[in-house]
Every structure is written in structure tokens, then in C-alpha cells.
A = this chain, B = another copy of it.
Amino acid sequence: MTEFTTRRRVEFADTDQGGIMHFSRYFVFMETAEHLFLESLGTSVALELDGHRIGWPRVSATCDYRRPARFGETIEIRVRVRRKGEKSVTYDFTFTRGGEELATGQMVSVCCVLDAPEGLRAIPIPEAVARRLDGP
């Protein structure tokens, strides 16, 4: 299965008064890692399809925190496709700092038309994207 790793530093605005990265920010880190992963495959998180805006709202997001991340530290975020469904993708994430595991996460993103009359509508993953998620 396809795998991708990105790195970023913990910013001051990511921290809270506990002196560590706020737990909600890991989800932003995961989302952006997912987007960079899709880009690395030659696709994107914000597509147009037949004049409709396509996006990937999450139906599920989880994070397990083992060690805190602190301001200024460089974190590696590894993305892996755990499961590719007809309309959704399940991603595994691993946060490490210099090889030491900080946290693991999981997200399920569903391919949706964002401007459907009823609001969001799940659709089958466009084939060009689905093929890329299978990896080389």
C-alpha cells in the first residue's frame, strides 16, 4: 500500500498553556499530511468534477497520544492507506520525533460532492484517484 511521510515543526500557536502541542492540532497535522499525500499521487483534495466541487469530509478521526510534542520540535508524520473503500479511504498516521513515536491516528475520509442540493453527498471515488491510491 502507498505510504508517504512529511515533516513539520510545532508552532507557538499549536501549543497550549500546558506547555505542549494542543491535542486538537494533531488532527490538522493529519489532514494536511493527507493532502500532501494526495498531491504526491498527482491528485488533490479539492477537485472539480462535472462542475461540482468534490471534497473529502471525515466521518471518523482518532488520535492516541503517547508523548507530548513541544514548540519548535520537528515532527515526522507518516500517512498510510489502510483501506480503500468504494466511497471512502481509511488512513493510518504515525507521529514521530527523531524516530520516537509520539502519537498514532486514523481518519476515514469520504469522497463527497460538496454542493449537492441536499448538502454533502457521498460518491464513488473517481477512478483516476482510486487507481492512484492503490500505489504503484
Chain A residues with CB under 8 Å of chain B are 11-13, 15-20, 22-25, 27-28, 31-32, 35, 44-46, 55, 57-66, 68, 71-72, 114, 119-120
17 contacts between A and B (CB under 8 A): A11-B32, A11-B35, A13-B28, A13-B32, A15-B16, A15-B17, A17-B20, A18-B55, A23-B57, A23-B58, A23-B61, A24-B25, A24-B27, A24-B61, A60-B62, A60-B64, A61-B62
Distance in angstroms between the alpha carbons of A81 and B32 in the assembled complex:
31
Residues of B within 8 A of A13 (CB): 16, 22, 24, 28, 31-32
Contacts A60-B65, A62-B60 given: A71-B17 contact, CB under 8 Å? yes
How far does the Cβ of A69 sit from chain B's closest Cβ, in whole Å?
11
How far does the Cβ of A82 sit from chain B's closest Cβ, in whole Å?
16
Q: Is the CB of A16 within 8 A of B12?
A: yes
Measured CB to CB, the nearest residue on chain B to A120 is B68
Residues of B within 8 A of A24 (CB): 13, 24-25, 27-28, 31, 61
Residues of B within 8 A of A11 (CB): 28, 31-32, 35
